[in-house]
Homo-oligomer: A and B are copies of this chain.
Amino acid sequence: MISLDWDEVLRLHGYRITPQRQLVLEAVNTLGHATPEELCTEVQKYAAAVNLSTIYRTLEVLEEVGLVTHAHIGHGAPTYHSVEEDSHIHLVCDTCSQVESVDAEVAEVFVQILRDKVGFETDVAHVSVHGQCAKCLDRQKLL
């Protein structure tokens, strides 16, 4: 497993190295899970002049070269993660809106079924599952 530095990856894809790109990547690594807005706030701690639209454009580039991924949790806010993190699945509770992460291996069988049945190759880290979390289910039983 050879791992290239972030700047080498960008260069290999013909992109330039800029402070903004470094800062966004660091913010993604620092925050773990974060929306573009949250990343912007984080980046602006170090460079106040960085614009939100730069965050969006940068995330697009970083995602294209495979340095970050995103998942759609809930309605309006995608969250970005480092690809270095262990890949995980988001369980979104539709009652309390809490997001729980579980290791992606729980989906192994599911992914295999999709592969066999329809030839679909799942991006595991991008899966988000809606439903009811244990806590909210308990609360409902009490009523």
Chain B residues, CB < 8 A from A128 = 72, 128
- Verify B78–A75 contact, CB threshold 8 A: yes
Task: For A127, give its contact among B94, B123, B130 (CB under 8 Å).
Answer: B130
Chain B residues, CB < 8 A from A100 = 118, 120
Task: Please classify the interface of chain A as helix (H, G, I), strand (E, B), loop, or mixed, using the class held by over half of its residues.
Answer: mixed
A interface vs B, CB < 8 Å?
Answer: 71-72, 74-75, 78, 91, 93-94, 100, 102, 106-107, 109-110, 113-114, 117-123, 126-134, 137
Question: Can you pick out 10 interface pairs between chain A and chain B where the beta carbons lie within 8 Å of each other?
Answer: A72-B72, A102-B117, A102-B118, A109-B109, A118-B134, A121-B132, A123-B131, A123-B132, A127-B127, A127-B129
